[in-house]
């Protein structure tokens, strides 16, 4: 008896694994079809690898100063050297190395803020949506009030008073951004709660933690994932802006925003100081946005159907042109 039980469990697990592999393959196939999404995923993978292995990839220590080689141009200029492929800044630090290391800060801040704000927001939203009544009223009033705050100004002041650092930047950005998750989770919970299967679970006598974790949360994953990724992009930009204003990451740490701010003073003689870290931010955010829009597309069957219809419409238009051409060419 127990033997068969174990067997069936194993089988179930096996099947489960198959489903996962199958899903991953399916995702891969989807990705092959959507080139923009593919580019986004590849870029992000590259960025993450770059951030993780920064010390091994970067040719120099990002804080190493070489005052004899200040403001050296990139390698393709006459004065450029292979030692500093993308040139150096006003203190002779290697721009390429700083850019590689900058990815660490951007991605770390992005991930930390999304996890913190997302975690808090989702918990608040779940409580508001599921418990309802006074909890709901309180949380939603809180959200409404905080949404109406001049968030960035408050963030700037708090950072100025407490003192900017990696941790304070993360905390301040998380405190500023949890409301979106809260609102979305709450409205999703409200609509899912009214669906028959959740009502059934409640009637059967499931206690609320079980209902939330077994029945409600799984339905929230794909919208939350999309939102989280979009927020990630926003946070990367926000961190860059804060660092640019001098209220984010502080030297000697490296951040793309900080590098742009420092390069600003040498903008007219050393364009690469501003351009390269700026491009790094833009490429990172663009990649994240591409992935987010691809995810949104594949998680919405209706949207996929529409996309296909559009594709077909385009193809049909093209085909028509071809036939019209053929007809014109025929004598």
Partner 1 sequence: MGRFIYRRLIHGLIVIMGVTIIVFVVTRMVGDPVQVMLPLESTLEQRAAFEKKLGLDRPIHIQFVDFMANIVRLDFGESLWQKRPAMDIVFEKLPMTILLTAVGIGFACVVAIPMGIIAALRPGGVVDRITVFVSLLGLSVPQFWLGLLFIVLFAVQFKILPTSGAATPAHIIMPALTMGLPTLARLVMLVRSSMIDELNQQYVKTSFAKGLPFVRVVGIHALRNAGLPIMTLVGWEVIRSLAGYSVVVETVFAWPGIGLTAIQAIERDDLILIQAIVFTAAVCVVVINIFMDFVYKLIDPRLKLT
Partner 2 sequence: MSASRNVPLLEVRDLVVNFYTRGGVVQASRGVSFQVDYGQTLGIVGESGSGKSVAVQAVMGLISTPGRIEGGDILFQGRSLLDQAGKKFVREVRGKDISMIFQDPMTSLNPVFTIGTQITEVLRHHMGMTRDQARRRAMDLLGLVDINAPEKRLKQYPYEMSGGMRQRVMIAMALACEPQLIIADEPTTALDVTIQAQILELLTDLQQRLQVSVILITHDLGVVAQLCHRVAVMYAGRIVEVGDADQVFASPVHPYTKGLIRATPRLDVVTERMVSIDGVPPDLISPPRGCAFSPRCDQAKKDCLRAQALTPLGDDRHVSCWCAIKGDTR
The site for partner 2 (CB under 8 A) is made up of: 304-305, 308-310, 312-313, 316
What is the smallest separation between the CB atom of 307 and partner 2, expressed in angstroms?
9
Token pair recorded at residue 171: 């905390």
Q: Which of 81, 54, 78 is nearest to 69 (CA)?
A: 81
> For 94, which DSSP code?
B
Give dist(CA 45, CA 35) in Å, integer.
15
Binding to partner 1 (CB under 8 A): which residues in 142-201? Answer: 144-146, 148-158, 160-162
Over the Cα atoms of the chain, what is R_g?
Answer: 26
Can you state the angle between helices 95-131 and 166-177, rounded to 10 degrees?
40
Give dist(CA 259, CA 67) in Å, integer.
17
Q: Which of 57, 40, 224, 204 is nearest to 126 (CA)?
A: 224
User: In terms of CB distance, is 9 or 282 closer to partner 1?
Assistant: 282
CB 43, CB 33: distance < 8 Å:
no
Give dist(CA 328, CA 331) in Å, integer.
8
Letters for 114-143 (x = contact with partner 1 by CB under 8 A, - = none) are ------------------------------
Binding to partner 1 (CB under 8 A): which residues in 217-236? Answer: 233
Size of the site for partner 1 (CB under 8 A): 52
Out of partner 1, partner 2, none, which partner does residue 304 contact, by CB within 5 to 8 A per kind?
partner 2
User: In terms of CB distance, is 51 or 155 closer to partner 1?
Assistant: 155
The one among 264, 319, 321, 325 contacting partner 1 by CB under 8 A:
264
Region near partner 1 per CB under 8 A, out of 62-70, 184-192, 197-205, 237-245: 237-245
Give dist(CA 65, CA 74) in Å, integer.
17
269 in contact with partner 1 (CB under 8 A): no
CB 288, CB 229: distance < 8 Å:
yes
301 in contact with partner 1 (CB under 8 A): no
11 in contact with partner 1 (CB under 8 A): no
Interacting residue ranges for partner 1, rule: CB under 8 A: 36, 144-146, 148-158, 160-162, 233, 237, 240-241, 244-247, 257, 260-261, 264, 267-268, 271, 274-275, 278, 281-286, 289-290, 293, 306-307, 310-311, 313-314, 317
């Amino acid at each position: 008896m127990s033997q068969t039980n174990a067997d069936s469990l194993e089988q179930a697990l096996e099947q489960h694994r198959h489903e996962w592999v199958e899903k991953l393959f399916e995702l891969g196939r989807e990705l092959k079809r959507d080139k923009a999404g593919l580019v986004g995923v590849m870029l992000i993978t590259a960025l993450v690898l770059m951030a993780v292995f920064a010390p091994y990839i970067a040719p120099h220590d990002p804080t190493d100063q070489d005052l004899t080689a200040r403001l050296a141009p990139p390698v393709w200029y006459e004065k450029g050297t292979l030692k500093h492929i993308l040139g150096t800044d006003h203190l002779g630090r290697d721009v390429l190395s700083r850019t590689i290391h900058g990815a660490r800060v951007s991605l770390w801040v992005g991930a930390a803020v999304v996890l913190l704000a997302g975690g808090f927001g989702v918990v608040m939203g779940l409580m508001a949506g599921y418990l309802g009544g006074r909890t709901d009223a309180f949380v939603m009033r809180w959200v409404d009030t905080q949404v109406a705050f001049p968030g960035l100004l408050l963030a700037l002041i708090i950072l100025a008073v407490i003192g900017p650092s990696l941790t304070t930047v993360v905390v301040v950005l998380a405190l500023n951004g949890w409301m979106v998750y809260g609102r979305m989770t709450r409205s999703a919970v409200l609509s899912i709660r009214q669906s028959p299967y959740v009502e059934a679970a409640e009637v059967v006598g499931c206690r609320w933690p079980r209902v939330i974790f077994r029945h409600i949360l799984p339905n929230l994953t794909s919208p939350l994932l999309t939102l989280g990724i979009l927020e990630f992009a926003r946070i990367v930009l926000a961190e860059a802006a804060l660092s640019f204003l001098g209220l984010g990451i502080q030297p000697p740490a490296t951040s793309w925003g900080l590098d742009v701010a420092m390069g600003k003073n040498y903008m007219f003689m050393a364009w690469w100081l501003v351009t390269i870290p700026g491009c790094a931010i833009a490429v990172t955010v663009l990649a994240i946005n591409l992935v987010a829009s691809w995810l949104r597309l594949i998680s919405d069957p209706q949207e996929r159907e529409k996309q296909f219809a559009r594709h077909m419409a385009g193809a049909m238009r093209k085909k028509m042109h071809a036939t019209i051409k053929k007809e014109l060419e025929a004598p």
